[in-house]
C-alpha cells in the first residue's frame, strides 16, 4: 500500500528550523518560525505559566479522560477573554467554546464543522495568508480561494480591493480573517476599516471565521478582539479559532479553542454537540496539561495580572525592535525605505526581498527566512542586529 508514497518536501516554515539547527555558523540567525524570543534569543517559559504549572502538579489527582469538553474552566475563561464578559452573546448564552490542540486544531475543527453544515461552502482567505491555512481547509474537503489583501508595492492593505471582493460573498461563503498581527504580512485593518468589514459581513451574510493567534501582541488583550466582538454584535454567526501558543508561550503544550457564536442559545448548544462528534472522530479526547495551566492563570487575579504584564512586555519588545530596526537600517545608509516595519504589528513582516536575495542571506550569511522573506521580528537582538543589517545591505 505505502509503496506508492513519495517523500514530500518539508513544510517551508518547519524546514527552516531543521536547516538552521544543522548550520554550524556561530552567527546564524533563524528568522523563520513564529516563536517569541527574548533579548538573549531564548523562548522563555512565562513566570505565570511556571507558577500555574506548580499549582497544577500539586493539585492534579488523576490522568483519567476529561471528556469531549476538556477543561471546563479553560473554555469559559477563553470565551470571556475573546467575547468580553459583559457581551450580549455571553449574557444570552449564545457562545460555545471547546478546547482544541492549538489554534491549528481549532481551525481544522472549524473546517470540519463547516463541511458538515454545508459541504459545498467555499472558504476565502486573504492573499497572502498563513501557509498552513492553504493546507487545512482543502484537507477537510473545502474549496479555498483568496481575496486581495496585501499590496506588496506599498507594503500596506489593499482595502478597497478587499471590500470589492468581499461584497460579492454571501451565505454560502466563509471568510477567514486574522484578528490582529496578520501572519505573514503584519498589516491589520484599522478601527474604521474593521467597522466597514463587519458591516459588510452583516449585510452580505457570509460567515466570518476569525483566526486569533496573537491576542495581546498588537494593541492589547481586549483591543485585539475588537473585530471578533463587532462580528458577534452584528452577525448571527461567527467562528473563532484561537491559540494560546504565543500569548501564554505554551507552544508545545498545544492549547487552543474553537468558539462558535450563534443566533440562539439552543443553536449554540446544538452546534456544540456537532463539535464533540467532530473532535471524537479526529482525536477522541483533548489533552489536559496546557489548558489546565491557562485555566489556573485565568482564575487567579494575581496570575492574570502577571500574565497581562508579561504579554505587554512581549508586545513592547517587538514594537521596540521594529523601531530600532528601521532606525538602524537607515543609519547604515541603506536607501530603500523600510519605515513600513514600524507601521506593522506582531511578529511578522515581509522584507520585500526576492527569492534570490533570500537564498543569498541563507547561503552567504546563515540568515534563515522563508522564501517569501517573511521575518520573525522577535528574533532580532543586540547581538545579531548589526550582522543582519550588514548582510541585508550586501544583498540589496
Contact status, residue 244 vs residue 252, Cβ threshold 8 Å: no
Neighbours of 303 (CB within 10 A): 21
Annotation marks residue 246 as catalytic: yes
C-alpha cell at 92: 444570552
Taking CB under 6 A as the rule, does residue 13 contact ligand LMR?
Answer: yes
- Taking the complex as a whole, the smallest distance from the CB of residue 36 to ligand LMR amounts, in Å, to 11
Please identify which of the residues 211, 224, 295, 307 carries the catalytic annotation: 211
Cβ nearer to ligand LMR, comparing 132 with 357: 132
Tell me if 242 contacts ligand LMR by CB under 6 A: no
Identify residues 120-149 at the interface with ligand LMR (CB under 6 A). Answer: 130, 132
Give the nearest distance from C-beta 303 to ligand LMR in angstroms.
25
CA distance 182 to 4: 38
DSSP SS3 for 118 = coil
Closest CA relative to residue 224, chosen from 346, 375, 393:
346
- Nearer Cβ to ligand LMR, position 208 or 346? 346
Compute the least distance from the CB of residue 268 to ligand LMR, in Å.
28
What whole-number distance in Å separates Cα of residue 302 and Cα of residue 182? Answer: 31
Q: How far apart are CA 239 and CA 221, in angstroms?
A: 18
Count of beta carbons in the 10 Å neighbourhood of residue 11? 14
Residues 361/21, Cβ–Cβ less than 8 Å: no
Nearest to ligand LMR of 13, 312 (CB atom): 13
Query: How far is it, in rounded angstroms, from Cα 279 to Cα 364?
Result: 46
Which one is catalytic: 130, 194, 224, 307?
Answer: 130
Cβ nearer to ligand LMR, comparing 33 with 52: 33
What is the closest distance, in whole angstroms, from the C-beta atom of residue 288 to ligand LMR in the complex? 22
> In angstroms, what is the minimal distance from the CB of 243 to ligand LMR?
8
The reply to whether 281 belongs to the active site is: no
Sign of CA dihedral 370, 373, 377, 383: positive
CA 338 to chain centroid: 24
Q: Which is nearer to ligand LMR, 105 or 287 (CB)?
A: 105
Active-site annotation holds for 211: yes
| Total binding residues toward ligand LMR, as defined by CB under 6 A | 6
**Residue 183 within binding range of ligand LMR, rule CB under 6 A:** yes
Q: How far apart are CA 229 and CA 88, in angstroms?
A: 10
> Shortest distance, CB of residue 132 to ligand LMR, whole angstroms?
6
Cβ 238 vs Cβ 210: under 8 Å: yes
Build a one-symbol-per-residue string for 87-126: x at contacts with ligand LMR by CB under 6 A, - elsewhere. Answer: ----------------------------------------
Which residue among 28, 173, 194, 246 is the active-site one? 246
Pick between residue 229 and residue 246 the one whose CB is nearest to ligand LMR.
Answer: 246
What is the spatial distance between Cα 30 and Cα 43, in angstroms, rounded to a whole number? 13
Q: Of all residues in this chain, which one has the CB nearest to ligand LMR in the complex?
A: 34
Binding mask of the shown chain, residues 20 to 39, with x at each position contacting ligand LMR by CB under 6 A: -------------xx-----
Question: What is the rounded CA–CA span in Å between residue 267 and residue 214?
Answer: 29
Catalytic residue annotation:
130, 211, 246
> Which residues lie near ligand LMR (CB under 6 A)?
13, 33-34, 130, 132, 183
Amino acid at each position: 500500500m505505502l509503496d506508492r508514497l513519495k517523500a514530500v518536501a518539508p513544510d517551508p516554515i518547519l524546514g527552516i528550523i531543521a536547516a538552521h539547527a544543522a548550520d554550524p555558523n556561530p552567527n546564524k540567525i533563524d528568522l523563520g518560525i513564529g516563536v517569541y524570543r527574548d533579548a538573549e534569543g531564548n523562548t522563555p517559559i512565562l513566570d505565570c505559566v511556571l507558577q500555574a504549572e506548580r499549582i497544577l502538579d500539586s493539585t492534579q489527582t488523576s490522568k483519567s479522560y476529561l471528556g469531549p469538553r476538556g477543561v471546563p474552566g479553560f473554555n469559559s475563561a477563553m470565551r470571556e477573554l475573546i467575547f468580553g464578559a459583559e457581551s450580549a452573546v455571553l449574557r444570552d448564552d449564545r457562545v460555545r467554546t471547546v478546547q482544541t490542540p492549538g489554534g491549528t486544531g481549532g481551525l481544522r475543527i472549524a473546517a470540519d464543522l463547516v463541511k458538515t453544515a454545508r459541504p459545498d461552502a467555499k472558504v476565502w482567505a486573504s492573499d497572502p495568508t498563513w501557509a498552513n491555512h492553504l493546507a487545512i481547509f482543502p484537507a477537510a474537503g473545502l474549496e479555498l480561494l483568496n481575496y486581495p489583501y496585501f499590496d506588496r508595492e506599498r507594503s500596506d492593505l489593499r482595502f478597497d480591493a478587499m471590500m470589492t471582493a468581499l461584497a460579492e460573498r454571501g451565505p454560502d461563503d466563509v471568510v477567514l480573517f486574522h484578528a490582529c498581527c496578520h501572519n505573514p504580512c503584519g498589516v491589520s485593518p484599522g478601527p474604521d476599516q474593521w467597522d466597514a468589514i463587519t458591516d459588510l459581513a452583516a449585510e452580505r451574510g457570509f460567515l466570518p471565521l476569525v483566526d486569533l493567534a496573537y491576542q495581546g501582541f498588537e494593541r492589547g488583550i481586549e483591543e485585539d478582539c475588537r473585530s471578533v466582538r463587532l462580528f458577534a454584535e452584528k452577525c448571527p454567526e461567527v467562528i473563532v479559532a484561537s491559540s494560546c501558543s504565543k500569548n501564554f508561550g505554551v507552544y508545545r503544550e498545544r492549547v487552543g479553542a474553537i468558539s462558535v457564536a450563534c443566533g440562539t442559545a439552543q443553536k449554540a448548544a446544538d452546534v456544540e454537540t456537532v463539535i464533540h462528534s467532530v473532535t471524537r472522530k479526529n482525536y477522541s479526547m483533548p489533552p489536559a496539561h496546557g489548558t489546565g495551566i491557562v485555566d489556573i492563570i485565568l482564575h487567579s487575579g494575581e496570575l492574570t495580572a502577571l500574565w497581562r504584564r508579561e504579554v505587554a512586555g512581549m508586545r513592547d519588545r517587538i514594537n521596540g525592535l521594529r523601531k530600532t530596526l528601521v532606525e538602524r537600517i537607515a543609519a547604515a545608509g541603506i536607501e530603500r525605505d523600510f519605515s513600513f516595519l514600524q507601521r506593522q504589528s506582531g511578529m511578522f513582516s515581509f522584507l520585500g526581498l526576492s527569492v534570490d536575495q533570500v537564498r543569498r542571506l541563507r547561503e552567504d550569511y546563515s540568515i534563515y527566512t522563508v522564501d517569501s522573506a517573511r521575518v520573525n521580528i522577535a528574533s532580532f537582538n543586540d547581538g545579531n542586529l548589526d550582522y543582519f543589517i550588514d548582510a541585508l545591505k550586501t544583498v540589496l
